[in-house]
Amino acid sequence: MVQRKSANIPVYIILAIAVLLISLPLYMSLIVAFKTPLENMQSFFAFPNSLYLGNFRTILSRQGYFRSLFNSFFITSLSLLGMVLLWPAAAYAIARKMGENRIYKYLYFFILLGIFIPFQVRMVPLVRLANSLGLANVNGIIVLYIAGSVAEAIFLYVAYIHTIPPDLEEAARIDGATTLHTYVRIMLPLMKPIIATVLIKDALWIWNDFMLALLMLNRSINYWTLTLFQYNFRFQFSSDPTLIMTSFVLAMIPVMVVYLFAQKHIIGGLMSGGIKA
Amino acid sequence: MKMKRKKINLEREVTFICFIVPAVLLYVMYFIVPMVTGVFYSLTDWTGLSPNANFIGLENYRNLFTDRAFRQSLFFNTWYALLLVIIVLCLSTMLALCVNAKIKGRTFFRGMLFFPAVLSMLTIGMIFGEIYTRAIPTAARVLNIEFFQISVLSRMSTAPFGILFVHVWQGLAIPTVLVLAGLQTIPEEIIESAELDGAGKWKRFTHITIPFLLPVLSVVLILTLRAGMTMFDYAMVMTEGGPAGATRSLTMNIYNLGFQQLRFGYAIAQATMVSIILIGISFLQITITQKRKVY
């Protein structure tokens, strides 16, 4: 028993260093955000003398922040909603018809190709196409995010459905249930773990995405997401580090709050579906 | 009886077709059309603005080989990605082993280690940008350390490492969780019996842990290699590719060519080249992992 404990000391040391390295930049952005510019000039590392809220007030009084927060929230949630409605169903059809019908099999491999085509090769023409389809706005980027998630989602869902025996569905069909009914009542509940995995991955991607947002939404302040808000804000106030750090803190707060409460589910969700794939 | 069966089947067919139509439409719009038009435009001198483009064959691809900026980006990005892969593979395995051990506060440590993954690369890049350019030089002046008095990001020799550090800081989170999931698939009996047989810690690690982790590690390898080869956000907000192109990644190069210099055709040719490299790597990985399954 005693030996066990001493064997763990290097583990604690490594983890302590890791935690220190992870929290240091976050801690620094927090303390800088609560300082006046003058205080910050005197020392970057010192703890603030008082809780100065002027930086927060300055940013929150600009309309950009709440507008971007709303946009990020709106875009992320509607994209996820679209993904839940569309992709498990499509994967279900493909997974169950692959054996019977060649077209579905080819379709599966055709869609899988998308995983291997990097974004960069499509980036330039995609922006042109999206512009001409009128998708360079908040509603349009939702369509693009949903479309962008299709290949990976189908890949993960189909792999998961293949591990579920079709007995239950066949029993339901013999009982006269429609396919839609079978899907909603039997298949969807069984797919919950993998749906959680895919949605968590996609949520992190969309909420934090910079590239597609920069390409599609940087034309109007009304379209900005939180990432664009920070990016543009930094250019405007590049001379005032306390304000900039405050904008980063404000951008991180929503994620931090969600993470604080859902941490276990996020890590567990990623792990459970991740192994099976 | 036969009539009824046909009717049910028809209902099933129609439902399934309805299920896949949105997938096909959006997939073609987002993946196929841009790719096909992209490859077509890479054979022209299109600027992206003018309505007409001249067909110039493989000229854009030939120019790649003499383009010094492209070569510089390719060189920087390749060794950057390789270093990233090596560091991430080693450190994520080490950290996963740590949070898999029976220690106090395991949940807390797991939560902390994964936290960087939920933040945006942009925010992290900009925070570290501030730290590199303002905090560290001020501290170095106080402590009189000459090396750090100038920002790490403003020197050609150190800027890539400045970005690499940030990438490791954030890029470790997901691999650590993946490796942790891999560690939990190792049956405890095997480890226990090895322990009874007198296998030391190192032996157990190389003979049991590593072979069990290989599938996960190959996934981590491919994910990290891709992340390294397509790095964009960090360089964009920390150095804008500078100083003197020392941190200009391939993706930044494509972005600049396509959207700033308006050389669409050439930008896509470059992107196609990068894609071929990436697809090659993915393909290699798939064949390697599939070979493993045979054993």
Report H helices in chain A. Answer: 2-7, 9-33, 37-42, 54-61, 63-97, 102-116, 119-132, 138-148, 150-161, 167-174, 179-182, 188-190, 192-208, 211-217, 226-236, 241-276
- Please give the residue of chain B at the shortest CA–CA distance from A177: B8
CB A3 within 8 A of CB A26: no
- pLDDT score for A117: 76
- pLDDT score for B290: 63
Number of alpha carbons in the 13 Å side-chain half-sphere of residue B268: 27
Mean pLDDT of chain B: 85
User: What integer is the mean pLDDT of B245-268?
Assistant: 86
Of the given ranges (A32-46, A148-162, A243-257), which has the lowest mean pLDDT? A32-46
B215 touches A at CB < 8 Å: no
- A227-233 contacts, C-beta under 8 A, 24 or more apart: A227/A72, A227/A251, A227/B120, A227/B122, A227/B123, A228/A68, A229/A64, A229/A65, A229/A68, A230/B122, A230/B123, A230/B126, A231/B122, A231/B126, A231/B237, A233/A59, A233/A64
Percentage of chain B surpassing pLDDT 90?
A: 23
B251 touches A at CB < 8 Å: yes
Asked if B19 lies within 8 A of A28 by C-beta distance, the reply is no
The pLDDT confidence band at residue B164, using thresholds 50, 70 and 90, is: very high
- Judged against a pLDDT cut of 50, whether residue B295 lies above it is answered with no
The pLDDT confidence band at residue B291, using thresholds 50, 70 and 90, is: low
Q: At what angle do helices A138-148 and A150-161 cross, to 10 degrees?
A: 40
- pLDDT score for A235: 78
- pLDDT score for B19: 93
pLDDT digits (tens, 9 = 90+) for A35-94: 887 777 777 777 777 778 888 888 888 778 888 899 999 999 999 999 999 999 999 999
User: How many Å apart are CA B203 and CA B125, to the nearest integer?
Assistant: 40
User: How many Å apart are CA B30 and CA B7, to the nearest integer?
Assistant: 35
ipTM reported for the complex surpasses 0.95: no
- pLDDT score for B215: 80
Contacts of A21 in chain B (CB under 8 A): 169
- pLDDT score for A275: 45
CA B284 to chain centre: 16
Please give the helix or strand (H or E) that residue B14 lies within, else none: helix B2-27
The pLDDT confidence band at residue B293, using thresholds 50, 70 and 90, is: very low
- pLDDT score for A71: 93
User: What integer is the mean pLDDT of B60-87?
Assistant: 90
User: How many Å apart are CA B178 and CA B157, to the nearest integer?
Assistant: 33
Compute chain A's Rg from CA coordinates: 24
- Judged against a pLDDT cut of 70, whether residue B279 lies above it is answered with yes
pLDDT digits (tens, 9 = 90+) for B195-216: 888 878 888 888 888 888 888 8
The pLDDT confidence band at residue A243, using thresholds 50, 70 and 90, is: confident
Tell me which residues of chain B, numbers 69 to 98, contact chain A at a CB-CB cutoff of 8 Å.
94-95, 98
A5 touches B at CB < 8 Å: no
Token pair belonging to A226: 């939180």
Residue of higher predicted confidence among A11 and A44: A11
Asked if B23 lies within 8 A of A178 by C-beta distance, the reply is no
- Judged against a pLDDT cut of 50, whether residue B1 lies above it is answered with no
Of the given ranges (A8-22, A65-79, A219-233), which has the lowest mean pLDDT? A219-233
- pLDDT score for B294: 36
Token pair belonging to B98: 């740590």
Residue of higher predicted confidence among A163 and A70: A70
pLDDT digits (tens, 9 = 90+) for A207-217: 989 889 998 98
Of the given ranges (A239-243, B111-115, B252-256, B272-276), which has the lowest mean pLDDT? A239-243
Nearest CB partner across the interface for B181, out of A15, A116, A271: A271
- pLDDT score for A154: 92
Percentage of chain B surpassing pLDDT 70?
A: 94
The pLDDT confidence band at residue A113, using thresholds 50, 70 and 90, is: confident
- pLDDT score for B208: 85
Q: How far is B182 from chain A (nearest CA, A)?
A: 7
In the block, residue with structure tokens 């109007």:
A220
pLDDT digits (tens, 9 = 90+) for B123-144: 898 889 888 888 888 888 888 8
Asked if B185 lies within 8 A of A275 by C-beta distance, the reply is yes
The pLDDT confidence band at residue B5, using thresholds 50, 70 and 90, is: low
- Judged against a pLDDT cut of 60, whether residue A222 lies above it is answered with yes
pLDDT digits (tens, 9 = 90+) for A121-146: 788 888 888 988 998 899 999 999 99
The pLDDT confidence band at residue A248, using thresholds 50, 70 and 90, is: confident
User: How many Å apart are CA B154 and CA B162, to the nearest integer?
Assistant: 10
For residue B8, the one-letter residue type is: I
Asked if A14 lies within 8 A of B258 by C-beta distance, the reply is no
User: What integer is the mean pLDDT of B161-185?
Assistant: 91
Contacts of B95 in chain A (CB under 8 A): 14-15, 18
Token pair belonging to B177: 């969780």
User: How many Å apart are CA B126 and CA B129, to the nearest integer?
Assistant: 5
Q: Which of A3-7, A13-17, A165-169, B281-285 has the highest mean pLDDT?
A: A13-17
User: What integer is the mean pLDDT of A190-197?
Assistant: 88
The residue among B282, B247, B264 whose CA lies nearest residue A118 is B282
> Best of B6, B21, B24, B26 to disrupt the A interface by mutation (most A CBs within 10 Å)?
B26
- Judged against a pLDDT cut of 90, whether residue A253 lies above it is answered with no
- Please give the residue of chain A at the shortest CA–CA distance from B18: A90
Mean pLDDT of chain A: 85
Q: How far is A33 from chain B (nearest CA, A)?
A: 12
CB B241 within 8 A of CB B252: yes
User: What integer is the mean pLDDT of A176-191?
Assistant: 90
Classify burial at A132, counting beta carbons within 10 Å of its beta carbon; exposed 0-12, middle 13-18, buried 19 or more: exposed
* Residues across chain B: 295
Asked if A15 lies within 8 A of B98 by C-beta distance, the reply is yes
In the block, residue with structure tokens 């028809």:
B10
In the block, residue with structure tokens 């719009």:
B29
- Judged against a pLDDT cut of 70, whether residue A3 lies above it is answered with no
A207 touches B at CB < 8 Å: yes
User: What integer is the mean pLDDT of B32-61?
Assistant: 82
- pLDDT score for A1: 38
Q: Is B44 helix (H, G, I), strand (E, B) or coil?
A: strand
